[in-house]
Structure 1
Amino acid sequence: MAVVALALRDDAGRLLLQRRPSHKHHGGLWEFPGGKVETKETPRLALVREIAEELGIAIEASSLSPLLVADEGVGGRVVLFLYSATCWSGPIVPHEGQEWGWFAAREAAALDLAPMDRDLLARMSTSPR
């Protein structure tokens, strides 16, 4: 299953992270916002849709830059594509009632992150981008 996520940074360089609703897989853990790629949907367009559905903000597909990929390891079924962006329009409104916030890299690393998100965050700090 293909999943997309967004490393959205504000003007101060902080990352937007959200806490997964308690009734979902990895409930209560923090993650990059995003979701599943639907059939006949490109990863970029899936991410634009997911961000609008979850956070009520608009992201242009052309403003997304591929950043990193993570998977669940041997035998895992989920592949997560992380994109980055620094611009959006509209106020952030968590439509699924999730908690969210802006975090510096060190603050984000101290959160209880979902496993693949922890891996991505760690690799972001060593990525050449």
Structure 2
Amino acid sequence: MLVVALALFDKSGRILLQQRLPGKHHGGLWEFPGGKVESDETPRVALVREIEEELGLHLEPGSLTPAFFAEEPGDRAVVLNLYTASFEGGELVGRDGQAWGWFAHEDAANLPLAPMDRQLLAFLHR
């Protein structure tokens, strides 16, 4: 399964993370926002759609820069492609009822993160 996520940075260099809802895979853990790529979408288009659906933020596909990827093997093998972008302002709303926040790298690293998101956060800090 192909999944996309966004490392969105504010002007202070903090990263936007959201908390997965209880009852979902990795429920309660923190992650980069994003979601599954549908069969008729490119990864960038899927990420724009997911960010709009989850946070009410519209991004232009061209503003997304490919960064890293992570893999989760198993019955539900997942490849997560991470993109980066700068937050240019706007109102963010957890439309699915999820908690979200801006975190300095050190604070983000101390959160209970989903395993692939922890890997990707480490790559961002290099």
Does the TM-score normalized on the shorter chain lie above 0.5? yes
Give the secondary-structure state (helix, strand or coil) at the position aligned to 1:71. Answer: strand
What residue identity is the alignment partner of 1:102? W
Report whether the alignment pairs 1:29 with 2:25: no
Q: Let me know the Cα RMSD of the aligned residues.
A: 1.3
Residues 48-97 of structure 1: per-residue CA shift (max 9 Å, x gap): 00000000011110000000000014776100000000035531011000
Residue 23 (structure 1) shift: 1.6
Quick one: which amino acid aligns to residue 13 of structure 1?
Answer: G
- Do the aligned partners of 2:10 and 2:88 also contact (CA within 8 Å) in 1? no
TM-score (norm 1): 0.93
In the TM superposition, what whole-angstrom CA distance separates every residue of 1:20-63 from its partner, at most 9, and x where no partner exists? 00021100000000000001100000000000000001111000
Aligned length: 126
SS at match of 2:3: strand
**Within 5 Å, which residues of 2 pair with 1:1-129?**
1-73=1-73, 77-88=77-88, 90-126=90-126
* Contact in 2 for aligned 1:59/1:88 (Cα 8 Å): no
SS at match of 1:5: strand
Equivalent AA in structure 2 for residue 46 of structure 1 = A
Write the distance in 1 (CA, Å) between the matches of 2:89 and 2:45: 16
Gaps of 5+ in 2: none
Q: Which runs of 5+ in 1 are unaligned?
A: none
TM-score normalised by the chain length of structure 2: 0.95
